[in-house]
Amino acid sequence: MAAIVLVHGIAQEYRSAHTLEEEWVPRLARGVKAAGFPEVADRLWKYRHTRRGIDARMAFYGDLLRRHPSQSEMIDEDIQHEVTARIGREWLDRAAVRGSVPPERQRAAREIARLEGGPGETGRTVVLSPTCGLAGLRWFAADGPGSAGGFVNKALTQLTRYLTDDQTRNRVLDRVGAEIGFDTKVVIGHSLGAVVAYELAHRLRRPLPLLITLGSPLGPDTVVDSWVRPQPAQPPAFVENWVNLADRDDLVAADPTLARMFPVPTEGGPVLRGGYTGEHGAEPHKACFYLQRREIGRSVGLAFGA
């Protein structure tokens, strides 16, 4: 089994484990080196195919999030629409409150005002979706103006589907869980993958030295918090250290302060460390942006005892 298991996030259904590993692992090695662990960095990338190498493997599940016609009757679409709308509203609220670019905060505030505007010019109440407001934000249009709406819809749909569709959830957890073994020291989950990694950590019956969650939608007082399992949300008992990192401009990511989510320390539970990045990137939700951060590199370097 791999020493490091990587768990990707949303909108990866047409990728593969190999292509994602080729993107993630060198960035992770770069962050480890920047944190002062050059030997561990070389073992991750330069010597990865040798006996000295550290095996880092992507647990790919993206194909399981493709919706097939045969699945449509098995899903409660009313619940999915409600959860999708609530999560979308949370993303808009984050853009308005904590975004680092003032014009984007103002734009998000205007979209929120439109959602709460009540009757339109015809005298009828206009029912608007947070999706429309999110699609107007620059953050979601990193691949061009026409890309925003599609990404927003896909991101919200996949996150909601995992949370509300038991069949999808169980298939994803079984697929990813098969990659975690006795040799696994570190599990790194990004975006939806952070939720998957968190839920899998609760299934473990052996110690996991380090859990890292990046850009995680799981946080205090969030919609996701009320849908994760087990309930109520709690630190995984067999995890020794949990690091949770988010960027203020990453609208998918909830407040990363684990102490707020779990204010009462759990006896024998993990050491909790969570916070915001110290610098902003052009694509703040991208996994590669997070993997290169020194705070992540330091945690991985220490896990392998350089």
Is there a single domain that holds both residue 196 and residue 62?
A: yes
Is there a single domain that holds both residue 21 and residue 117?
A: no
Is there a single domain that holds both residue 289 and residue 174?
A: yes
Q: How does residue 141 score in pLDDT terms, banded at 50, 70 and 90? A: low
Average pLDDT over residues 73-85: 77
Domain end, chosen from 100, 121, 149, is at 149
* Residue 159 is assigned to a structural domain of this protein: no
Is there a single domain that holds both residue 106 and residue 173?
A: no
* Residue 207 is assigned to a structural domain of this protein: yes
Is there a single domain that holds both residue 200 and residue 278?
A: yes
Is there a single domain that holds both residue 137 and residue 277?
A: no
Could you tell me which of 121, 92, 119 has the C-alpha nearest to residue 107?
92
* Residue 31 is assigned to a structural domain of this protein: yes
* Tokens at 229, concatenated: 């399992």
* Residue 155 is assigned to a structural domain of this protein: no
* Residue 232 is assigned to a structural domain of this protein: yes
- Asked if 30 and 44 count as a contact pair (C-beta separation under 8 A), the reply is no
Is there a single domain that holds both residue 182 and residue 226?
A: yes
* Residue 184 is assigned to a structural domain of this protein: yes
| Gyration radius of the chain's alpha carbons | 19
Is there a single domain that holds both residue 62 and residue 82?
A: no
pLDDT computed for residue 151 by the predictor = 74
First to last CA, the chain: 21
pLDDT by residue (tens digit) across 106-125? 999 988 988 887 544 444 44
Average pLDDT over residues 191-199: 98
pLDDT computed for residue 142 by the predictor = 54
- Asked if 87 and 217 count as a contact pair (C-beta separation under 8 A), the reply is yes
pLDDT computed for residue 128 by the predictor = 58
Is there a single domain that holds both residue 185 and residue 51?
A: yes
Residue at 247: amino acid letter: D
CA distance 235 to 233: 7
Q: How many CB atoms lie within 10 A of CB 64?
A: 18
Is there a single domain that holds both residue 123 and residue 242?
A: no
Could you tell me which of 173, 238, 177, 250 has the C-alpha nearest to residue 214?
250
**Range of the structural domain that residue 242 is part of:** 4-66+165-305
Domain end, chosen from 120, 149, 178, is at 149
pLDDT by residue (tens digit) across 223-248? 999 999 999 889 999 999 999 999 99
- Number of structural domains, the chain? 2
Ranges assigned E (strand) in 28-100: 56-58
Percent of the chain beyond pLDDT 70?
88
Is there a single domain that holds both residue 52 and residue 196?
A: yes
The CA-atom distances, in angstroms, between 245 and each of 81, 210, 215, 250, 267 are 28, 14, 6, 11, 23
Average pLDDT, the chain: 87
CA distance 258 to 143: 32
Is there a single domain that holds both residue 52 and residue 100?
A: no
Ranges assigned E (strand) in the chain: 4-7, 56-58, 186-190, 210-214, 241-246, 271-276
* Residue 182 is assigned to a structural domain of this protein: yes
Average pLDDT over residues 170-197: 97
pLDDT by residue (tens digit) across 16-65? 999 999 999 999 999 999 999 999 999 999 999 999 999 999 999 999 99
